[in-house]
Amino acid sequence: MDFEYFMNEAIEEAKKALNNDEVPIGAVVVLDGKIIGRGHNMVETNNHAFEHAEINAIKEAEDYVGDWRLDGAILFTTLEPCVMCAGAIIHSRIKTLVFGAKDVQRGFAGSILNVVDDGIFNHRVEVVSGIKFQECKELIDNFFNEKRKK
Amino acid sequence: MDFEYFMNEAIEEAKKALNNDEVPIGAVVVLDGKIIGRGHNMVETNNHAFEHAEINAIKEAEDYVGDWRLDGAILFTTLEPCVMCAGAIIHSRIKTLVFGAKDVQRGFAGSILNVVDDGIFNHRVEVVSGIKFQECKELIDNFFNEKRKK
């Protein structure tokens, strides 16, 4: 599997968030080599605190397969998931989580805690990190640097 | 505030889930003494792993106020929130979480961990537990006992 190809697709989603002045995070869900769900951060746009990139991508993938169980699916996301999204990844039975940049302050797939692969739940998620991390990190860092300037 | 009154409303939501053969969990969001969001578990009905009672109640409340920030709101839920819902409660800036029964195996508001009030995040949520816990616990226990019999 070409991890960089799919992470680029997640980055494209993050750029859609950026264009809406949302924190630029994007995600795609891949099953059998095909993207079946895409999502980006839409918290401000839709006024829903839960509309993070990962949940929106998972929702689209679940609608595609007609099942809340995404057995065998791989989630690519530009930033290490927060506590809520880490939970959604477990609940939807994602097989593998691939993320770009770490979120050392709020990440729950290794930074603060690892809830996706620590044995609390029956289901465990494989984790791959650091794919195109520089580009993913710059997207976020530049966004907050610009906000601070204003 | 009459905690039992609002927990009864959350229990009514849980019974709606039960009628749909969903794990019976219900929640309501209260602002200024008024219910502004109601939700029950709809994972199987809508094939979305994230459609837990708490997230559905928060979504309805956010639509009501037209903002993802539910400042000053109180969330009543029949069961201690899971990791995903604990995260959604933090993200939506709920002021107070009131839950009925503990979830000793999966609860993230004190049982496994307390992510809503442990200082990881800028926002902290007050937690009140044990309101009508016997009724809330029996709803869940009876559901799983029936499932095991079949």
Specify the residue for token string 């839960």: A50
Residue B43 and residue A48 in contact, taking contact as beta carbons nearer than 8 Å: no
Nearest to B55 among A50, A62, A70 (CB): A50
Residue A73 banded pLDDT, cuts 50, 70, 90: very high
Residue B62 pLDDT exceeds 90: yes
Residue A93 pLDDT exceeds 90: yes
Q: What proportion of chain A, given as a percentage, has pLDDT over 90?
A: 93
Confidence at residue B92, expressed as pLDDT on a 0 to 100 scale: 98
B62:A48 CB<8 A: yes
Confidence at residue B138, expressed as pLDDT on a 0 to 100 scale: 97
For the record, the structure tokens of B140 come out as: 């869940």
Confidence at residue A101, expressed as pLDDT on a 0 to 100 scale: 98
Residue B91 pLDDT exceeds 90: yes
For the record, the structure tokens of B108 come out as: 């993230």
Name the CA dihedral angle for B80, B86, B92, B95, rounded to a multiple of 10 degrees: 50
Which residues lie closer than 8 Å to B129 by C-beta, 6 or more apart?
A: B80, B98, B99, B100, B102, B109, B110
Residue by residue, DSSP assigns B75-144 as: EEEEE---HHHHHHHHHTT-SEEEEEE--TTT-TBTTS-B-SSSSSSSS--EEEE-TTHHHHHHHHHHHH
**How many other CB atoms are found less than 10 A from the CB of residue B8?**
16
The whole-angstrom distance between B120's CA and the closest CA on chain A is: 8
Residue A129 pLDDT exceeds 90: yes
Residue A11 pLDDT exceeds 90: yes
Show residues of chain A in contact with B106, CB under 8 Å: 120-121
Specify the residue for token string 């991508």: A57
- Report the alpha-carbon distance of residue B45 to residue A149 in Å, rounded: 46
Span A141-150, pLDDT tens digits: 999 999 999 8
Among A119, A115, A112, A122, smallest CA distance to A97 is for: A115
Q: What proportion of chain B, given as a percentage, has pLDDT over 70?
A: 100
Confidence at residue B60, expressed as pLDDT on a 0 to 100 scale: 98
Confidence at residue B78, expressed as pLDDT on a 0 to 100 scale: 98
Confidence at residue A119, expressed as pLDDT on a 0 to 100 scale: 81
> Catalytic: which of A54, A62, A80, A126?
A54
For the record, the structure tokens of B46 come out as: 């809508």
Residue B20 banded pLDDT, cuts 50, 70, 90: very high
Residue A118 pLDDT exceeds 90: no
Can you tell me whether residue A26 is helix, strand or coil?
strand
Span A29-72, pLDDT tens digits: 999 999 999 999 999 999 999 999 999 999 999 999 999 999 99
Span B97-120, pLDDT tens digits: 999 999 999 999 999 999 998 888
Residue B122 pLDDT exceeds 90: no
Residue by residue, DSSP assigns B6-60 as: HHHHHHHHHHHHHHTTS---EEEEEETTEEEEEEE--HHHHT-TT--HHHHHHHH
Give me the interface pTM, i.e. the ipTM: 0.96
**How many other CB atoms are found less than 10 A from the CB of residue B104?**
10
Task: Tell which wins on pLDDT, B118 or B18.
Answer: B18
Confidence at residue B119, expressed as pLDDT on a 0 to 100 scale: 81
Show residues of chain A in contact with B62, CB under 8 Å: 47-49
Question: For the residues B33-62, what does the mean pLDDT come to?
Answer: 98
Confidence at residue A84, expressed as pLDDT on a 0 to 100 scale: 98
Nearest CA in chain B to A112: B120
Ordered strands of the B96-101 beta sheet: B34-40, B26-31, B74-79, B96-101, B126-129
Confidence at residue B13, expressed as pLDDT on a 0 to 100 scale: 98
Confidence at residue A17, expressed as pLDDT on a 0 to 100 scale: 98
B126 Rama sector, left if φ>0, alpha if ψ -120 to 50, beta otherwise: beta
Catalytic annotation present for B54: yes
Show residues of chain B in contact with A108, CB under 8 Å: 83, 87
Residue A122 pLDDT exceeds 90: no
Average pLDDT score over chain A: 96
